[in-house]
Structure 1
Amino acid sequence: MSASEQVTPEAQTRLNLAEQRGLRLGIGIRTSIAAAAFVWYVGAALLFPGADLRLATTVALLLFTAIGVTHLCLIGTRFDRAWMKYTVYMLDGLTICALFALVPISRADDVPQIIAFRAYGIYFLFPLLAMACLSLSWRLVLWTGTVCVVGWWAAFAWVSTQMDRTLSWADIPSAATRADYETIFLSIDFIGRGNRIEETAMLFFAAIALSVSVYRARAVFFAQVAADIDRRREKAARERVSDLLGKYVPEEIAHKLIADDAPMRPQRATGTALVMDIAGFTRFSAAHDPSEVIAKLDTFLADAARAVSDKGGIVISYLGDGFLVTFNAPVAVKSHATAAVQAATALVPVARAHAFDIRVGIATGALVTGIIGSDSRQSFTVYGDAVNLAARLEGKCKELGVQILMDDQTRASAGVAVDVLNCGDLLVDGIETPVQAFGLSGVSVV
């Protein structure tokens, strides 16, 4: 995919800012160099009376500095135009070339100006090409290289046509001797046309290579911006999905589903299930307006969910006026039975703060968690004997006159030390053998 195919409004805006910063850097560098050269050139003439101060060079350096300062002030403003940078770099290139053609190399009339090309050379134009790269505009780089080549040849042609006699590589005999080279190559009239071809070819090839490099850098830039936009969109989409899932499935499960696109496979673990229900909720709902009942229930369940989450529990589902919580399934919890008992005792004061009494059943055993349902509709659930037993024990609380009832495996695993009421063996629906149960009320857990 080409850079133009990946351009988005955001990417173009970012690139425009990067181009402005790079152009400002390049223009700043060349302006600083021009100003330093102007100060050095004029200062040297003032400090050393014998120094040669040429008006053309002084004006050119001053003009270079003034143009740079003006352009720096305009970059990024409402007065900035695309043609300005092309004009500035064209003036820079042509001015450098003009200096080689018009500023006399010597005060003597018999010294041809071609000596300037032989003594200094085209390398004065390469920094201009390098500074053009800072703008991140491949067109400006190619434009600068082309202008420099054309300007260099124009200056060379102007100088060589002013000479009465010219010598070049073609004038050296095929079997040239040392004397032939000394006569022609070291002659003051030697213009070296072949050298001009080589140096301008190198300059133009460098311009092409640098422009391609800048173009590729722009393509990489657009690709990175596009990838960044995609990452932000994906993150936002995942957050929206997570927020939506969080309303219907436990937050921890939602995060797992978002992190892994594959459906969560069933997991088997030994854990503890906690079932909570509000005592006398039917009477409460009958005596109050439905909207008030829902509002009060929502507030209480939110606080209750936070209380069990603080202990590592996961609210798997809401059961009318209560909920089902699991510990160590599917998210690992150390000492899950202890955590479940601590969560149950923490729920009692939370319920009382909302003017409710609760009943809690706790059971420890095998739990299986995972996604169930059809391809079109699925839900996360947990099942196992511990879930069924916790629900049955919650139902026995009213019959036994306790708020919290747990099975013997939970008691043994949690290490309950005090305030344990042995409720004996209970016959529980769906379980053939009696279940030894223990009631708690404000117990201490070790």
Structure 2
Amino acid sequence: MTQADLPARSATPDTSRLLRAEQRGLRLAILCRTFAVGAAFLWVGGSWVAFGFYPNPLIFVVLGVFTAVGVAHACVIGTRFDRWWMKYAIYTIDILGICATFAFLPVIREEAVPQILAFRAYGIYYLFPMVAMATLSLSPRLVLWSGCVAVIGWFAAFFIAIAGMETTLSWSDLPPGATRAQYEALFLSADFIGRGNRIEETGFLMIATLILSLGVLRARRVFMAQVQAQAEREQIASTLGRYVPEAVAKRLIDDPEALTPQQRYAVILVMDISGFTAYSAGRAPTEVIEHLNDFLSGCAEKVSRHNGVVIQFTGDGLMASFGTPIESAEPEQEAIAASRALMAQAGKAGFSIRIGLAAGPVAAGSIGSSDRQAFTVYGDTVNRAARLEAHAKTLGRTLLLDGSFEDKLQGQPVERHEQQTLRGLSEPVTVLVLA
């Protein structure tokens, strides 16, 4: 049973999405219905002009009423006036209106022509689009309802049409071994009602209805399965995002093997706030934490904007990677652009920061126990980035890069410091300072 059929129940996120899909489908069905009515207007009017066929003017009135009812329903869908039974009522009105047209509306005004000729000249195929359009609502109940109403309404119209006939003929009136002339005389007779044809066509209509309703039911189940899977993915990503970077969480969901420990080329960024201890002195802890959280949140957003991933927050700083676990064609350029964005962010927050950038091979992947894991990067490149950040204080600079960036600066002015000894590293490194 659909959410629209149970308005009293509270809507879950899954059923709310399905309800919105049903509402969009109903609007689409009304749009198709309007086009169909317009086509009928053109066909009847065109036949009048082109072929000299003079239809009953009431046909245009019926088509106009159909259009008005559909537009009124479209305006109500999704509003507080919408009710679950309205779609059933609309399809019932449409289908019974078509059946009533065959039962009561004379084919030609000027002459008394048996109404059964309307069934023989036009046929039940006018009802097939109504059942087909019901599938757009994603409601198998509505499809079944429409098919059943069409069968019942068609037979009711048929019996009304033949009720006033003095004589009726059907295929059973053919004698055994009938000749061609006898076939033609029977079939072309105004008294021929073709009862067997009516049974046959409604049978096919019911079969089509059952097939369409099963198709809609399957589509609903596929839709709900996809919605549920997406909701589970979002919940997992949200939960993992509390402990690991969002980009890592999404990649872990999409491809868990991608986070197995492996060596990758990457750029490591280490940032720290200068003089944070002095800043914290004399301020309320809540004020310090609130201001720091706002600043670091902005920094994480800047890193993500340049395809970097914040691996961890280090008290009053952070460490980020470019090139792993999210692959990048130009990790050096993205890391430099992110560093400039961090410096601008720090200026707005009233902080002074130091940044160290190092490029090279890193070991990256998920580590930990079977119950809880964390994505991390480690290796000489990581250590070098941390030492460059600390060495920036010695040189009185904001941003230091290691020598591996020299070929990636694309003509940018740079200050080169040869053979700098960094604490904790066994070999001296070349340090670059962007002017």
Scaled by the length of structure 1, the TM-score of the pair is 0.66
Task: Note the alpha carbon deviations across 1:216-252, whole angstroms, 9 max, x for none.
Answer: 3344345445544554565565456545655543343
Structure 1 residue aligned with 2:328:
333
Of 144, 167, 175, 1:159 maps to 167
Of 361, 386, 395, 2:356 maps to 361
1:213 is aligned with what amino acid?
A
Structure 2 residue aligned with 1:216:
211
The 5 Å alignment of 1:380-395 reads: 380-395=375-390
Provide the aligned length of Structure 1 versus Structure 2: 391
Seen in structure 2, the aligned counterparts of structure 1 residues 219 and 24 have a Cα distance that, compared at 3 Å, is farther
Shift of 1:274: 2.2
1:435 is aligned with what amino acid?
E
Of 408, 412, 421, 2:417 maps to 421
Seen in structure 2, the aligned counterparts of structure 1 residues 281 and 39 have a Cα distance that, compared at 3 Å, is closer
Of 156, 167, 171, 1:147 maps to 156
Seen in structure 2, the aligned counterparts of structure 1 residues 261 and 151 have a Cα distance that, compared at 3 Å, is farther
Q: Is the Cα contact below 8 Å between 1:276 and 1:323 reproduced in 2?
A: yes
2:371 corresponds to 1:376: yes
Structure 2 residue aligned with 1:91:
100
1:269 is aligned with what amino acid?
R
The percentage of counterpart residues that share the same residue type is: 23
* Unpaired segments ≥5 residues, structure 1: 45-57, 106-112, 162-166
Bigger mean CA offset, 197-206 vs 71-80: 71-80
Structure 2 residue aligned with 1:283:
278
Scaled by the length of structure 2, the TM-score of the pair is 0.67
Report the secondary structure of 2:359's partner residue: strand
Report the secondary structure of 2:167's partner residue: helix
The 5 Å alignment of 1:85-234 reads: 85=94, 87-95=96-104, 123-126=120-123, 129-136=124-131, 137-147=146-156, 149-151=158-160, 154=163, 158-159=166-167, 169-170=174-175, 185=182, 199-225=194-220, 227-228=222-223, 230-231=225-226, 234=229
Q: Give the structure with higher Rg (CA).
A: 1
Give the Cα–Cα distance (whole angstroms) in 1 for the partners of residues 223 and 369 of structure 2. 35
1:92 is aligned with what amino acid?
T
* Unpaired segments ≥5 residues, structure 2: 6-14, 74-80, 132-145
Q: Is the Cα contact below 8 Å between 1:362 and 1:407 reproduced in 2?
A: yes
Report the secondary structure of 1:159's partner residue: coil
Shift of 1:414: 5.4
Shift of 1:290: 1.2
1:372 is aligned with what amino acid?
I
Shift of 1:373: 2.5
2:432 corresponds to 1:435: no
Structure 1 residue aligned with 2:252:
257
Give the Cα–Cα distance (whole angstroms) in 2 for the partners of residues 16 and 366 of structure 1. 57
**CA RMSD after TM alignment:** 5.0
1:88 is aligned with what amino acid?
G
Give the Cα–Cα distance (whole angstroms) in 2 for the partners of residues 269 and 228 of structure 1. 39
Seen in structure 2, the aligned counterparts of structure 1 residues 219 and 351 have a Cα distance that, compared at 3 Å, is same
The 5 Å alignment of 1:27-46 reads: none
Task: Note the alpha carbon deviations across 1:138-157, whole angstroms, 9 max, x for none.
Answer: 1233224423554566566x
Give the Cα–Cα distance (whole angstroms) in 2 for the partners of residues 152 and 186 of structure 1. 23
1:91 is aligned with what amino acid?
A
Seen in structure 2, the aligned counterparts of structure 1 residues 84 and 240 have a Cα distance that, compared at 3 Å, is same
Seen in structure 2, the aligned counterparts of structure 1 residues 408 and 17 have a Cα distance that, compared at 3 Å, is closer
Report the secondary structure of 2:130's partner residue: coil
Shift of 1:367: 0.8
Q: Is the Cα contact below 8 Å between 1:93 and 1:147 reproduced in 2?
A: no
Task: Note the alpha carbon deviations across 1:94-144, whole angstroms, 9 max, x for none.
Answer: 337x989xx667xxxxxxx9xx98xx6952251xx1222232221233224
